[in-house]
Each structure stands twice: as C-alpha cells, then as structure tokens.
Structure 1
C-alpha cells in the first residue's frame, strides 16, 4: 500500500509541474501610452461655474494639443462638472473646433484610446442640439474616424466613457477630436483622455 501511495504522489507531482510553469508565465499586459495634458488642466481656469478659456489655431496655451481648425473652450472644474474633478474641453468655442495630439505607438499593436464625454454644461445650450463630434487617427495607412454623440445638453453634466480602437502602423499616430456641431458656441465636452496598446 505504501508503494502505491508513493507512485500516486509521484504522478500527481509530475502533473503539477506544467501547471506551475504555466502559472509563472505572465500574460502580456497593456502598455499605457503618454498623453500630455489629458484632462485639459492647462491652461488653468478659475474654478467657479462660469469661467472658461478660449483657444484658437496657433495658440500654444494648451500643451500637448494643437487646435487645427476653429477654436475650443477649456472649462474650469466648476463649469465642467466632470466626475474626475478636472477641467474639460468644449469642442466648440465661438465656432466648431478640431484638436490633435501625436502619440508614440508601436507598429502592429492594438491601441485603445478612451475618454469621458458629456453634452455641454452651459445652461444657454439648446436641448435640441445633439452635439455630434468625431474622434479619429491618422497614420501611414491613412485615417480612421468614428462619430460620437454624448447626448442632449444638460446643466448638470452627463458624463459617459467613449472608446476608439485601432491597429497602429507606425511609431507616430495623430489622434484627432473634431466637432461636427456647426458654428455655435455649444459643443460636446471631453476630458480624461487615456491610451493603451497591446502587442
């Protein structure tokens, strides 16, 4: 009986080895990519419920981001009402705006960009305005763009998460957010832009 127990123990021990080895191999983890000024906290804006900072084409006030069309408004924390407690960006200043930032990516990797979105929190925005905007990327393979709609304007803020996923084809990829909301001052808000890539 003792011999049988030893054989059984040896078999169980031998079968356990591959499992232990497999458990010791870490899964391939996502790598977080650097996004400069992801919460639009620069330029700093007074934190009550009324102040914002307008940024137009060629204005360097918003590090990491370049305005390539029209202009945008940076909302202070009190105005934005973001769940992260940060500032936010309205993609419509006096007119519809477009912003870009270049990300360092690995060719062949799957990149996921996510951010928080909300209808404009300014009480003067019409509730009939749907505030559509686009998010997209441009690299060696051309452009890929998706449309997003955070919903109807609300003075309280109604923040949800949006996501864009793509395969990188070069080491530098341009990320773009663009209002599709016409020329008015009311536009969708975004903040907390983060990016990860997976081999």
Structure 2
C-alpha cells in the first residue's frame, strides 16, 4: 500500500513530537506535518494533502473542538486523542471518526488511522457505548466469541491485507485464513470483509 499521509495537530509541541515519534517506526506511515490547532486547519490541509488527521485535543479542548467542527465536508477524516473520557461526546459531535485515549500504543494507533482513512469509525472499548451510531451497537458478548486468532485476522483485515498477505504475516495457509474470515463474518453478522471490519472497529474489537 502507499504510505498513509498523516497530519498531526496538537497545541502542545511535546504532544506533537510524541505522536510523530510513536508513528515513526510504523510501516506505511508518513507524518507530513505537525501544527498547532490555532493554525487554521483548512489552510493547512490545502497545502498538506493528508489522508487522515491525528488531533490531540489536549486538556483544554474547547478551541480545538470548535476548529474540528468547522472542518468542511471533503476534508480528511479525523482521529482524535483525548485526555479525558468527558471529551469523547463532544469530539464525536464535532465530527471525529476515531476517538482514542492517550495511552493507545503505536500498533493500535496505526491500525486506527488506517481504518479511519478508509471510511470506518474507530472507538476505543473504553468509549461510552452510547456514542455508537444508532443501530450499530454490537452485543457485549461478541468479543468473547471471537478467538485470539480471529482477533489477529481482524486486525490485519483492518490494515487492508488480502488473504495471502494475512497468511504470510501469521504463517498459516490461505485456506485457513479464508476459514477464519468466514467465521468472523458469521459471528459479527457481517455481509462482507469491509462490513466485518466496520462492525469490529465500531465495537473497538481491533483496538487492542
């Protein structure tokens, strides 16, 4: 896949540097810019064509949330990093497509950014279930129904790998991958691979 172009927005320069460092060793990720939220995001996005925006809201998120809400349709999707659970609802209302806590690790952050860049919604399991779009909540038992191997396959599906790529990564056969994918789709009630990833990301199942 082509490199995922990521624009980092955060008022705290240490937060910007920290997120950039977190992503620096992740494959297929390219941080194309780091700016503060008082820089007009629309102007920055016109000069830095990002695939996805990673936005650290900080502790005082009022101004950042206002800027987020003002982004025009057609702007890259935004994943926010929140400092406090209370910010989740406002971030969702402002249009964030991904909401993650600050302690998210590099691998999970990369998976979330890839999923959001492809039009999916990613919520960490700690995010209040009521934030999920109406009708898209999954049964609370679904995560226990998926085996550890199925969760691994889900993670790689979210990264966009085909069956052959998943087989190579997990060192299993293509046939076994197909078996796992079919099992995942059945357990999630999904109609396609994309639908399975969407349902899983909305439930937070692949943000480990």
TM bin, normalised by shorter chain, reads under 0.3
Structure with the bigger RCO (C-alpha within 8 Å, sep 6+) is 1
In our comparison, the structure showing a higher alpha carbon Rg is 1
**Normalised TM-score (structure 2):** 0.26
Greater fraction helix: 2
TM-score by length of 1: 0.26
